[in-house]
């Protein structure tokens, strides 16, 4: 036997794998640690356990927002929303106080009452102090009585979670009788807003009135001139000369929203 044959005879036979290829790295026997420098072989399921394939991890459920969109909080409509308020709408005859106040109360998303001073004054049937007859002690007494009645109604509405809006021609040069009196009867949280269109507008609107609510042009002009004293008072003023009823009510709501949203409210 030659040297080559002796070497072949003395060398161990190469291991043969069932696939006919060269074997992989030697696997440690049970109870034997992995040689240093060799990675730990992963656990492999047997063909009996896996059916010939390695199971994949379970699929994750689809994301509710596959585009990555981050949902935003619902938009909050501008305005007073669901706040419980007591509002006093001030303005001269013909400014549209009663119409705007009724529309604002009717279109709010929460219960809101409209308390009209003129309506309450006209509850007096016999002996009514007609404003066309001028301002005297008799008309002053009925005015104060009507204001107290309106204030009592407003407080009851507010105590039951119902907002209210009142309207009156309050003069800035009579703070004790006018605005101060309303705050005494309704409460200090009363929010006054002045509605003051131009003189031509109030004259035109007054001319369309009938009955004892229609005043002379001279009286309307005098009242309108006195109302100009509210400028510089710090109260919010809305000039609704170019606004319809719906637009004025919207401007009123936005004005009130700014007032109640201010740090001083």
User: Is 232 or 22 the better-scoring residue by pLDDT?
Assistant: 232
- Tens digit of each residue's pLDDT (9 = 90 or more) over 1-41: 544 444 444 444 444 444 445 455 555 555 555 555 555 55
- For residue 246, the model assigns a pLDDT of 97
Q: How far apart are CA 141 and CA 93, in angstroms?
A: 20
pLDDT above 70: residue 52: no
Q: What are phi and psi of 15, to 5 degrees?
A: -70, 145
pTM, rounded to two decimals = 0.69
Which residues make Cβ contacts (< 8 Å) with residue 231, sequence separation at least 6? 237
- Tens digit of each residue's pLDDT (9 = 90 or more) over 195-231: 999 999 999 988 888 777 788 889 899 999 999 999 9
User: Is 176 or 244 the better-scoring residue by pLDDT?
Assistant: 244
Partners of 114 in the β-ladder:
165
- For residue 136, the model assigns a pLDDT of 84
Indicate the range of 70-79, 118-127, 134-143 predicted with least confidence.
Answer: 70-79
**Residues 156, 86: contact at Cβ < 8 Å?**
no
pLDDT above 60: residue 89: yes
Which segment, 74-78, 161-165, 204-208, is predicted with the most confidence on average?
Answer: 161-165
pLDDT above 80: residue 176: no
Q: What are phi and psi of 86, to 5 degrees?
A: -120, 120
User: Is 69 or 101 the better-scoring residue by pLDDT?
Assistant: 101
Q: How far apart are CA 148 and CA 133, in angstroms?
A: 22
- For residue 216, the model assigns a pLDDT of 86
- For residue 194, the model assigns a pLDDT of 97
Q: How far apart are CA 59 and CA 68, in angstroms?
A: 19
Q: What is the 3-state secondary structure (H, E, C) of the chain?
A: CCHHHHHHHHCCCCCCCCCCCCCCCCCCCCCCCCCCCCCCCCCCCCHHHHCCCCCCCCCCCCCCCCCCCCCCCCCCCCCCCCCCCEEEEECCCCCCHHHHHHHHHHHCCCCEEEEEHHHHHCCCCCCCCCHHHCCCHHHHHHHHHHHHHHHHHHHHHHHCCCEEEEEECCCCCCCCCCHHHHHHHHCCCCEEEEECCCHHHHHHHHHCCCHHHCCCHHHHHHHHHHHHHHCCCCCCEECCCCCCHHHHHHHHHHHHHHHHCCCCC
Give the whole-number percent of the chain exceeding pLDDT 90. 51
Q: Strands 112-116 and 237-238, how do they pair?
A: unpaired
Mean pLDDT within 67-96: 79
Mean pLDDT within 110-117: 96
- For residue 154, the model assigns a pLDDT of 97
Q: Give the residue among 159, 244, 238, 150 at the shortest CA–CA distance from 195.
A: 238
Mean pLDDT within 78-103: 93
pLDDT grade, residue 134 (50/70/90)?
Answer: confident
Q: Work out the mean pLDDT of the chain and round it to a whole number.
A: 81
Q: How far apart are CA 81 and CA 60, in angstroms?
A: 42
The vertex-216 CA angle with 213 and 218, nearest 5°, equals: 135
Q: Look up residue 232 and give its two tokens.
A: 């510089």
């Amino acid at each position: 036997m030659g040297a080559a044959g002796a070497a072949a005879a003395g060398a161990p036979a190469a291991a043969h794998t069932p696939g006919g290829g060269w074997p992989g790295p030697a696997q440690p026997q049970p109870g034997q640690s992995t040689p240093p420098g060799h990675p730990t072989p992963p656990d492999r399921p047997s063909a009996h356990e896996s059916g010939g394939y390695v199971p994949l991890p379970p699929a994750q459920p689809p994301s509710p927002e596959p585009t990555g969109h981050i949902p935003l909080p619902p938009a909050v409509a501008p305005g007073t929303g669901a706040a419980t308020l007591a509002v006093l709408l001030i303005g001269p005859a013909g400014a549209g106080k009663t119409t705007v106040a009724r529309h604002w109360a009717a279109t709010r998303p929460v219960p809101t009452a409209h308390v009209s001073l003129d309506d309450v004054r006209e509850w007096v049937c016999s002996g009514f102090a007609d404003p066309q007859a001028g301002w005297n002690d008799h008309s002053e007494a009925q005015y104060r009585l009507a204001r107290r009645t309106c204030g009592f109604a407003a407080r009851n509405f507010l105590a039951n979670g119902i907002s209210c809006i009142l309207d009156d021609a309050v003069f800035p040069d009579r703070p004790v009788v006018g605005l101060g009196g309303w705050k005494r009867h309704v409460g200090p949280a009363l929010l006054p807003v002045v509605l003051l269109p131009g003189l031509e507008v109030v004259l035109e609107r007054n001319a369309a009135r009938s009955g004892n609510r229609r005043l002379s042009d001279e009286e309307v002009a005098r009242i309108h001139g006195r109302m100009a004293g509210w400028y510089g008072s710090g109260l919010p003023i809305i000039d609704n000369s170019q606004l319809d009823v719906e637009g004025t009510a919207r401007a009123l709501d936005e004005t009130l929203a700014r007032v109640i949203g201010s740090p001083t409210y």
